[in-house]
Amino acid sequence: MFGWIRASELTFELPDNAKQCFYEDITIGTKCTLEFQVVTGGHYDVDCRLEDPDGTVLYKEMKKQYDSFTFTASRNGTYKFCFSNEFSTFTHKTVYFDFQVGDDPPLFPNENRVTALTQMESACVSIHEALKSVIDYQTHFRLREAQGRSRAEDLNTRVAFWSIGEAFILLVVSISQVVLLRSFFSDKKTTTTRVGS
């Protein structure tokens, strides 16, 4: 029997004080992997919880930036995994997750082999494994780039506001210095009064 892989890969916005759940139907004995990472927002942390169809908690982590969890389904049914940002009062998050169910399909499904692979077939297998690794690295680097871009944009906004504030303060100080210097050199007209002669 050949196992087939189903994968859900998603990047979504998780508002402050919110909880987002996802559901997946899984058959008994199927190997599953949940991997997640917070891309943007606050301290880059989120709560994650995974439950089986009976509501038994299989995985629960609080305020994690990223993690990976692998398990084998102990029963048939709908498994639920939730991401929570309920501890945050004003910062929304962007969360990426990859939920893989089952094993990779075989490269040569029509052949039931007892003998060793030919040189061409083993080269195909090694290229396939290398390409899967490249896809994982690309996903990782895309997430890191999005995280770095978010931080750079936030820093750019802060620098812009700081520059505007400094320009305003410089303008106020310049005007006050001009007024103060003019008051030193202005000719004050004094009135003299003569007392009877």
**Strand, coil or helix: what is 58?**
strand
What is the third-level CATH fold of 1-103?
Jelly Rolls (2.60.120)
Neighbours of 161 (CB within 10 A): 10
Burial-class residue 22 by CB neighbours within 10 Å (0-12, 13-18, 19+): middle
> Residue 60 contacts by C-beta under 8 Å, 6 or more apart in sequence?
47, 48, 49, 50
**Mean local confidence (pLDDT), 131-146:** 85
pLDDT greater than 80 at residue 135: yes
Burial-class residue 80 by CB neighbours within 10 Å (0-12, 13-18, 19+): middle
CA distance 88 to 84: 9
Alpha helix locations (H) across 65-194?
119-185
State pLDDT tens for residues 51-88.
999 989 999 999 998 899 999 999 999 999 999 998 88
The percent of residues in the chain predicted with pLDDT above 90, rounded, is 38
Candidates 55, 59, 2; CA nearest to 30 is 2
| Residue 19, CA atoms < 13 Å, CB-side half-sphere | 11
pLDDT greater than 60 at residue 106: yes
State pLDDT tens for residues 10-47.
889 999 889 999 999 999 989 999 999 998 888 888 99
- Residue 8: what pLDDT? 77
- Residue 2: what pLDDT? 41
Neighbours of 17 (CB within 10 A): 12
pLDDT greater than 90 at residue 159: yes
Q: Give pTM, 2 decimals.
A: 0.67
- Residue 197: what pLDDT? 55
The percent of residues in the chain predicted with pLDDT above 70, rounded, is 86
pLDDT greater than 50 at residue 1: no
Return the minimum-mean-pLDDT range out of 103-107, 129-133, 168-172: 103-107
pLDDT greater than 70 at residue 113: no
- Residue 5: what pLDDT? 59
CA distance 26 to 7: 12
